[in-house]
Amino acid sequence: MKPRHRKLALIALVVALLGVAVGLVLNAFQSNLVFFFSPTQVASGEAPTGRAFRIGGLVEEGSVRREADGLTTRFVVTDTARTIPVVYTGILPDLFKEGKGVVAEGKLGADGLFAATQVLAKHDENYMPPEAAHAVEQAQKAQQTMVAE
């Protein structure tokens, strides 16, 4: 091979490698995005069934109940307008508390119960998970505009 051909072959190889990488990345990206829905959005049927997504809001006061096995917990997530019942099996994070912000990832059942596979609470008492803050803010805005109307 002449040096020029060699150089072209090398460039072609690099481009092919990059092409494979980009395809791989975009494919994985598409199938692994996790979307976020607030309780109001879930209540209005915007959330998918059968696909995992995240919900966020506040843990409703007085809603946390533990089952006898000590590991299964039921609680209600609220954005102050609408609520979603959640069930989770496993140890909850240190900062999971009634009245505090929470984000949960899982699937919505046909009965409207959200089965969480992961519960996230942030590592600072005064810090609200942005998703949870966003959900509450949206709900309060919606309520205010309704009152105004």
Partner 1 sequence: MIPELGHFALIVALLLALTQAVLPLYGAQRGNFALMAVARPATQGQFAFIALAFACLAWSFLANDFSVENVARNSYSQLPPVYRFTATWGSHEGSLLLWVLILAFWSTAVSVFSRHLPEDMAARVIGVMGLISVGFLAFLLTTSNPFERLLPAAMDGNDMNPLLQDWGMIIHPPMLYMGYVGFAVAFAFAIAALLSGRLDVAWARWSRPWTTVAWAFLTLGIVLGSWWAYRELGWGGWWFWDPTENASFMPWLAGTALIHSLAVTEKRGAFKAWTVLLALIAFSLSLLGTFLVRSGVLSSVHAFATDPARGAFILGFLAVVIGGSLALYAWRAPKMITGGAFGWFSRESLLLANNVILVAALGAVLLGTLYPLFMDAMGLGKISVGPPYFNAVFVPLMAPALFLMGVGPLARWKDASLPGMVTRLKWALVVALATGLLLPLTLDGFNAWASLGFFLAAWITLAVGVAFADRLRPGQGGLLQKLAALPRGFWGMQLAHFGVAVGIAGIAMVANYESERDVRMDVGSYAELAGYTFTFRGTTAHDGPNYRAARGTVEVSRDGRAITVLHPEKRIYNASGMGMTEASVHPNLFRDIYVAMGEPVGDSGAWTVRLFHKPFINWLWLGALFMVVGGFLAAADRRYRIALKRSELPKRVAAQGA
Among 44, 51, 65, 66, indicate the residue that binds partner 1 (CB under 8 A): 66
CA 12, 14, 16, 19 torsion-angle sign: negative
Token duo for residue 79? 């954005």
Cα separation, 49 vs 28, whole angstroms? 21
Token duo for residue 41? 């959005």
Provide φ and ψ at 59, rounded to 5°. -75, 120
Binders of partner 1 among 3-32, rule CB under 8 A? Answer: 3, 6, 9-10, 13-14, 17-18, 21-22, 24-25, 28-29, 31-32
Shortest Å distance, C-beta 6 to partner 1: 6
Shortest Å distance, C-beta 125 to partner 1: 5
Residue 74 engages partner 1 in binding (rule: CB under 8 A): no
Cα separation, 50 vs 92, whole angstroms? 24
Q: Hunting for tokens 């309520």 — which residue is that?
A: 143
Q: Which residues bind partner 1 (CB under 8 A)?
A: 1, 3, 6, 9-10, 13-14, 17-18, 21-22, 24-25, 28-29, 31-36, 54, 66, 69-71, 89-92, 94-95, 105, 122-125, 127, 129-131, 134
